[in-house]
Structure 1
Amino acid sequence: MDRYERIIALHRHLQAARRPVTVARLQDELGCSRATVYRDIAFLRDALMAPVVGDGEAGFHYDKDEAERFELPGLWLNSEELHALLAAQQLLARSSGGMLSAALAPLQQRVEKLLDAHSGGKRWPVERVRVIPHRIRRMDENAFRIVASSVLERRKLAFDYRARSTDEKTRRTVSPQRLTHYRDNWYLDAWDEDREGLRSFSIDRIAGARFVDGGARDVAEDDLNAHLAGSYGIFSGAPKGWATIRFSPKAARWVADEHWHSQQQGRFLPDGRYELKVPYSVPRELLMDVLHYGADAEIVEPKALREQLRAHLQLALSNYGDG
């Protein structure tokens, strides 16, 4: 039997035993070596927190007072899966600018303890998982915790919001729907109670967040996706059109592997260029992404979007006049 089956069998033997079970008997029952029995007992006790007591001479059994409260977890992970989980924890902690490090510390400690059970205490060099945040915004940790709690606990939320586009400060009361992590930054998707509509709020622009009386109104997932994820990027609203962008053969090697939108359409042209089509609503973010590729990108359609990009380029060029 494999290790998973052995652990379950070992748990059942110790749970049913009225007196200590010898190592020799466990070898026979599990069909494994003496060393394997000791390793499995150590894993059951140290990693899965089973109330194992005893030793190799007298035998092993469960502590009677603790045995009734202990349940074998329905799932545990192998070393490779634990390594992946530890790497993911590092990614989340570091990509959040350290904001979530304290909250995730128990998870990291638990994962490291499970890894120790696999490796006999070998240290895992987590510093070899490197995360370099890109254009991450400063965010108030307390505001994030309150917003996250309101989403998970389904509670109404009130806060001051200063829109980045206008710098106007408004007081909002919302029914939180979900948290969205997009391009290294966090957003709150919510039903705005006063405006009676779905809105997205950048959490770094939220201040004075507090719970208010009443449960959050639930909006159907399909409606959320239709309003907030139907168009390009984080900007909400139903798609107003499709943009066709063509990239040079050099840029095509990158763009062909990039995910711009869930409904994007892409194809290589005979001359090596790459043509990408994406739906969009507010063109601002789409234009920023196209400008990122400079002369290697060209908006073909629609004409209005092409003219907007031309105006952006002319305005930028005016900053580099001879004067």
Structure 2
Amino acid sequence: MSRRERLYHLHDILRQRRTPIARQDLMDELGCSQATLYRLINELRDHLGAPLEQDPDGRGFYYDRSLAGSFELPGLWISPDELQALLTARHVLGNVQPGLLEDELEGVQQRINQLLDAQGLDFSTQPGRINIRHDAGRPVPAELFEDVMQALFRRERLVITYHGRRRDDVSEREVSPQRLTSYRDRWYLDAWCHRSEGLRSFALERIREIRRLEEESLELPEEDIALHFDQAFGIFSGPAEHEALLRFSPEAARWAADEVWHPEQRTQWRPDGRFELSVPFGRSRELVMEILRYGRDIEVLAPDFLRQAVSSQLEAALGHYR
């Protein structure tokens, strides 16, 4: 049951009751924890204005009957997080490559505009009020994107001609698409590579040619895909085999403390104002690039091979200026 469904259900329960209902009974009815119940109660009472009261012993909840008849939940309301998602979706649809599902997406965009208009946000007359930049993104040909999408949902294999940046080589591979991932304004195809006999990520803009096969794709459990791609830092991560311990200077800490490098990261503030971040990772190349972004304001404390890799990169960079 979603948050919105629980809110409506909670409202219906309280509206139909003549006497207070116990906290545990509400938790059982809604299938939620005590913490979730109190979040729902706070949202219903404080944000939506419901006449929700609590009995003196704090164990039961009820609607004030003198006010309950005039209160109704709005037909639609949007949380701040949902508003951000709608704004982002609207921007993406407005900037999609010409010809890519153009007619279908126009209807979706109109529906998003209607949802935003219902919140008093008239984007049709003031579209420039929101500016979302995607400077680092790399365009993907419309036909290629559509072929990948069709193969993904029809469970078809693909033969791709792929230009790898790292080795600057071109290879042909037969792959079974598993999912599409959007990461830092770029699209990646997570797939089983039959040549390598393993899971790989392919940047869509590096695919030179593509051919769909009638042969059914190999399907892997979602748990295996998440284990391979999602446990470690970065898009070309592999399983999380190591943990990086990074220390930021007091000045850089003010920025680093607000960043999410990985969902499983751990953080700690030091008494002198420095900030430490622990991040699980597999392959180190992408992590090294992210560390170098902070220059002198970051130090790798562990593991030793990662510290040495960053040190070597800094030494090589310094060589250009000697």
**TM-score (normalised: structure 2):** 0.69
Task: Name which one, 1 or 2, has greater alpha-carbon Rg.
Answer: 1
* Matching residue of 2:216: 215
Question: Is the alpha carbon distance of 1:118 and 1:264 closer, same or farther for their aligned partners in structure 2, counting shifts above 3 Å?
Answer: closer
Q: Aligned equivalents of 1:210 and 1:235: distance in 2? A: 24
Shift of 1:85: 6.2
| Cα pair 2:300 2:307 within 8 Å, conserved | yes
Shift of 1:266: 0.7
* Matching residue of 1:78: 76
* Structure 2 alignment gaps of length 5 or more: 1-7, 9-73
Letter aligned with residue 163 of structure 1? G
| Cα pair 1:200 1:236 within 8 Å, conserved | no
Cα-to-partner distance string for 1:54-74 (whole Å, 9 max, x where unaligned):
xxxxxxxxxxxxxxxxxxxxx
Aligned ranges 1:93-172 → 2 under 5 Å: 93=93, 102=102, 104-112=105-113, 123-172=124-173
Question: Is the alpha carbon distance of 1:77 and 1:247 closer, same or farther for their aligned partners in structure 2, counting shifts above 3 Å?
Answer: farther
* Matching residue of 1:176: 177
| Cα pair 2:113 2:123 within 8 Å, conserved | no
* Matching residue of 1:232: 233
Shift of 1:219: 0.6
Please give the secondary structure, in 2, of the residue aligned with 1:158: strand
Shift of 1:294: 0.9
| Cα pair 1:251 1:296 within 8 Å, conserved | yes
Question: Is the alpha carbon distance of 1:77 and 1:176 closer, same or farther for their aligned partners in structure 2, counting shifts above 3 Å?
Answer: farther
Cα-to-partner distance string for 1:92-124 (whole Å, 9 max, x where unaligned):
2367677868353221123335667898x9944
Letter aligned with residue 110 of structure 1? R
Q: Aligned equivalents of 2:144 and 2:258: distance in 1? A: 36
Identity over aligned residues, as a percent? 38
Cα-to-partner distance string for 1:107-148 (whole Å, 9 max, x where unaligned):
1123335667898x9944232221111321232221111112
Letter aligned with residue 279 of structure 2? V
Q: Aligned equivalents of 1:126 and 1:246: distance in 2? A: 42
* Matching residue of 1:197: 198
Q: Aligned equivalents of 1:90 and 1:310: distance in 2? A: 43
Question: Is the alpha carbon distance of 1:79 and 1:280 closer, same or farther for their aligned partners in structure 2, counting shifts above 3 Å?
Answer: closer
Cα-to-partner distance string for 1:171-196 (whole Å, 9 max, x where unaligned):
11111000011111000000112322
| Cα pair 2:243 2:281 within 8 Å, conserved | yes
Shift of 1:250: 1.3
Letter aligned with residue 320 of structure 2? N
* Matching residue of 2:90: 90
Please give the secondary structure, in 2, of the residue aligned with 1:226: helix
Question: Which 10-residue stretch deviates more, 148-157 or 91-100?
Answer: 91-100
Q: Aligned equivalents of 2:269 and 2:90: distance in 1? A: 37
Question: Is the alpha carbon distance of 1:111 and 1:262 closer, same or farther for their aligned partners in structure 2, counting shifts above 3 Å?
Answer: closer
Q: Aligned equivalents of 1:116 and 1:243: distance in 2? A: 46
| Cα pair 1:177 1:219 within 8 Å, conserved | yes
| Cα pair 2:265 2:277 within 8 Å, conserved | yes
* Matching residue of 2:248: 247
Q: Aligned equivalents of 2:123 and 2:241: distance in 1? A: 56
Q: Aligned equivalents of 1:91 and 1:220: distance in 2? A: 33
Shift of 1:239: 2.3
- The count of aligned residue pairs is 246
Please give the secondary structure, in 2, of the residue aligned with 1:317: helix
| Cα pair 1:137 1:185 within 8 Å, conserved | yes
Shift of 1:263: 1.6
| Cα pair 2:97 2:141 within 8 Å, conserved | no
Q: Aligned equivalents of 1:164 and 1:240: distance in 2? A: 24
**TM-score (normalised: structure 1):** 0.68
Query: Over the residues paired in the alignment, what is the CA RMSD in angstroms?
Result: 2.8
* Matching residue of 1:297: 298
Question: Is the alpha carbon distance of 1:84 and 1:311 closer, same or farther for their aligned partners in structure 2, counting shifts above 3 Å?
Answer: closer
| Cα pair 1:162 1:206 within 8 Å, conserved | yes
Question: Is the alpha carbon distance of 1:77 and 1:143 closer, same or farther for their aligned partners in structure 2, counting shifts above 3 Å?
Answer: farther
Please give the secondary structure, in 2, of the residue aligned with 1:87: helix
